Amino acid sequence: MTAIAAAPIHETAPAPEPMAEPQHEAEVKPKDILIINYSGELEKVWATMILASTGAAMGVKTRVFVTFWGLPGFVRDEKRITGQNWMQRMLSLMQRPGISHRKLSKMNFLGMGPWMMGSLARKYNVASPRELLEAAQLMGVEFIPCQMTMDMFGLKPEDMIEGMGEPAGAATVIGLMGEGSAPLFI
């Protein structure tokens, strides 16, 4: 049986840890980030924008590939109906495009939920998805729309917000991952 050394009784209390050591260690260069924004719900678009703006702020090359339900969030806020045929128009009618018109996945309650979330955010000084999008664009985050979804939803480049990148496809996403971008699927 091995004896366990008893801790000395009269040990002085350890000095409190300083809250953050000034950084002198070798810098860690994080790899590029690729966020695939697939969902269009308010909370997921919010998460995308928080991570994208922070990525850019941290000096990390950050790209957001916008596809499927994510795409209507990148249509200009003032657009009401998009699409060329009745099905595409119906889709935009049922789900209002624009980053300021996102719905919550839970507790939407005909818009009461997003309204309450918005007023809580203002009360606690949380930047809105729109403000974060503007900050992200200012810091050079690249937003790449999915060409296939744009075609399927009948979205034209002029429907989209300013500063969107060239539309691309799945091969671009896989290519970037192959080059070492850390992927996030939101």
CB 77, CB 185: distance < 8 Å: no
Helix axis angle for 112-123 and 42-57, nearest 10°, is: 30
**Is 184 among the residues that bind another protein (CB under 8 A)?**
no
Choose the binding region for another protein from 22-30, 79-87, 101-109, 175-183 (rule: CB under 8 A).
Answer: 22-30
- For residue 37, give the 3-state DSSP assignment: strand
**Is 60 among the residues that bind another protein (CB under 8 A)?**
yes
Q: If you compute the radius of gyration of the chain from its CA atoms, what whole number of angstroms results?
A: 22
For another protein, give the closer residue by CB, 17 or 78.
Answer: 17
* Interaction residues for another protein, span 98-127 (CB under 8 A): 124-127
**Is 28 among the residues that bind another protein (CB under 8 A)?**
yes
Of positions 1, 2, 16, 23, contacts another protein by CB under 8 A: 23
Of positions 138, 157, 174, 185, contacts another protein by CB under 8 A: 138
For another protein, give the closer residue by CB, 9 or 19.
Answer: 19
**Is 17 among the residues that bind another protein (CB under 8 A)?**
no
- For residue 128, give the 3-state DSSP assignment: coil
Q: How near is the Cβ of 154 to another protein at its closest, in Å? A: 34
Helix axis angle for 129-138 and 42-57, nearest 10°, is: 30
**Is 57 among the residues that bind another protein (CB under 8 A)?**
yes
CB 183, CB 177: distance < 8 Å: yes
Helices (H), the chain: 42-57, 86-94, 112-123, 129-138, 147-153, 170-178
**Is 152 among the residues that bind another protein (CB under 8 A)?**
no
Closest among 178, 160, 136, 124 to 46, alpha carbons compared: 136
Choose the binding region for another protein from 86-94, 102-110, 134-142, 167-175 (rule: CB under 8 A).
Answer: 134-142
State the residues that interact with another protein by CB under 8 A. 18-25, 27-30, 50, 53-54, 56-60, 124-127, 132, 135, 138-139
